[in-house]
Every structure is written in structure tokens, then in C-alpha cells.
Homo-oligomer: A and B are copies of this chain.
């Protein structure tokens, strides 16, 4: 959120010195475009009626590996020199980032070491294995994961590809919103889920790089609301609990992503567990596409009566309903244990 305090602004300008600039994002897009899909943008008259807006869904659930994560992972992996990447890549990830790193590493013909908690869902292991990733199992704690990743790194000489605290990742994730704004230049705002902030900070950079006045909102589970607390207090907050069905949104912002979001994001909207599940099901039923609960978080708040009106978007010159972009981040989930019955 734009800060009122000018001293904070000064601090920020220091912190965001590393935020990828527009030429960096253009270069990222050129680098990854031969490997990824330019995903379609779908609309739904039912969801428009329900929200009082015209919604444009950027379907990265159709992306290679089933999520936007391949954008950042492939940008990072194709950015490295032969020498730098010769011994492979390593990442701690129980989710879509792990599969994306494994996939991009295979494209680059280098090994990928994915550190995963023993209790991750079976489908997540299968996805990583399907792309040829080598799995290291660890206990399901953050410290155990970091230690295991450091150990693998030391043993193999593989280079770390962090899920979000990395400008190359952020620049890659920025390409989804960039494509969306290229296709629909007059969107009033764009909504994306927020976890560690890689996608959301990339969405700010990608969308506002095309049109500076497009607003960007993050959407977050109530049960993993560190971004909301960090941005409303202006101080980076830790995740206190992460007991949410949105299993891709359990990470916390890093100083890097926090700094970008503080400058560029218009607000964080929260969604309850019930709203996340209902939104998942609604999109399946009405749009006939598969999105995972973490992805549904980006549309769930908009379905709550009055949300769109409460944003106070300036009226459009053409008198039309607000045009809102939504980044559909992924469609990977275990069809054997659906969040609804």
C-alpha cells in the first residue's frame, strides 16, 4: 500500500533496489516464451452476474506443470550459465514450485533435487517424479526442510532456486499479468493469491509495467494472513498459523517481496476456508475448469456480496462495470480427496 510516511518511503526505496525493472521482465518473457504456454483468458457470465464486475481469468491452471510456477522456475534456470548450473538445482518445496523446477531442469538437462516433507500428498511426489526430479524426504518442519536443502546443496554442488525470494523468479511470475494486460489493456484491477509474494509482486510489476494505474490486490486465506498483517501494519509479520486448505499459500513474505508489495499493492483481501471451498466448487461447476483451492482464493473474496463495490474503483469512462483480471494460479490437486462432497 502506498505509504503516507515519507521516511518509510525512503527506507523502501533502498529495500526495493533489487526489484526487477521492465527490461528485466521483458528479457524474462523472451527467455521463457519458447517453453511455456501463453495461457488463455476465460470469462464467465455467471460469475460476472454474481460479482457485479466483468472478470477476466488468466488461466495458468492450464500452464505447463499445471501452475504459474514454471514461469519463474524456467526464467531462473535458463538465466544461469552452463557453469553455474552444471551440478543441477535444488529447492525445498512440497508443491507446484518443486514440480516446476524439476520440469525446467529437465529442459535444461541438469539434475533437480527437490526436498519434500514426508507427509506431502502422494500426487505432489508423483508430479516431481514425473519430471525426473530427485526427491529428498525430510521431516515436515521449516527448519528440517532448510537443513535438508543446505545438506543437498553441499553434497551435490547444486544451486538453490528459491520459490520466491529471488528476482529471477519474480520477473518470471510477472509475465502472467503482463500477458493479461497485453490482451486486455483496460482492466481496472488485477487479483492474485499471495503466499511468499513471488506471484503477487510479479503481478504488480507485470501489470503496472503495461499500465501504471492498474490496481493490484492480493488475496489470502484468513488462516494464513501474514501478508494482510504485514501490509496493514507496515511491518513484516511472520506466519502464525497456516492451517488452511489452500496448501500453496502457507509461506510468508520475504523482505524482498514485502518491499515491492508495500509500494505497489492496493490491498489484501481475505477469504475464509468456507469461501475458498465454495469458490473452488463454483468455478468447477460454472466454468468447467479445474482450479486448486489456493487458486480459488483469488476469486473467493470477489464473490462476497459488496466486495467489488467496496474497492472504490474509479468509475470507467465507458460507463461499463469494472473490468477485473484474476490470475488463476494452478490446477493441481488430488482428485481422490476433493475439498467438497
Count copies of this chain in the complex. Answer: 2
Among listed A26-34, A146-154, A208-216, A284-292, interface-contacting one: A284-292
Among listed A104-112, A307-315, A331-339, interface-contacting one: A331-339
Which listed residue, B66, B281, B288, B335, touches A66 by the CB 8 Å rule? B288
A:36-67 near B, CB below 8 Å: 40, 42, 61-62, 66
Pairwise interchain contact A281-B335, C-beta atoms closer than 8 A: yes
Q: Which residues of B contact A341 (CB under 8 A)?
A: 336
> Can you show 9 pairs from A to B with CB atoms below 8 A apart?
A42-B62, A284-B290, A284-B335, A285-B335, A288-B291, A290-B290, A335-B338, A336-B341, A338-B338
Q: Which residues of B contact A291 (CB under 8 A)?
A: 288
Tell me, rounded to whole Å, the shortest Cβ–Cβ distance linking A256 to chain B: 30
Residues in chain A within 8 A of chain B (CB atoms) = 40, 42, 61-62, 66, 281, 284-285, 287-291, 331, 335-336, 338, 340-341
Which listed residue, B66, B281, B335, B340, touches A340 by the CB 8 Å rule? B335
Q: Give Cα A290–Cα B40 distance, bound, in whole angstroms.
A: 16
Pairwise interchain contact B62-A288, C-beta atoms closer than 8 A: yes
Q: Which residues of B contact A340 (CB under 8 A)?
A: 335-336
Q: Which residues of B contact A285 (CB under 8 A)?
A: 335
Which listed residue, B288, B335, B336, touches A289 by the CB 8 Å rule? B288
Q: Give Cα A248–Cα B289 distance, bound, in whole angstroms.
A: 20
Q: Which residues of B contact A61 (CB under 8 A)?
A: 288
Q: Give Cα A62–Cα B284 distance, bound, in whole angstroms.
A: 11
Q: Which residues of B contact A284 (CB under 8 A)?
A: 290, 335
Interface centre among A40, A290, A338 (most CB of B within 10 A): A290
Tell me, rounded to whole Å, the shortest Cβ–Cβ distance linking A333 to chain B: 9
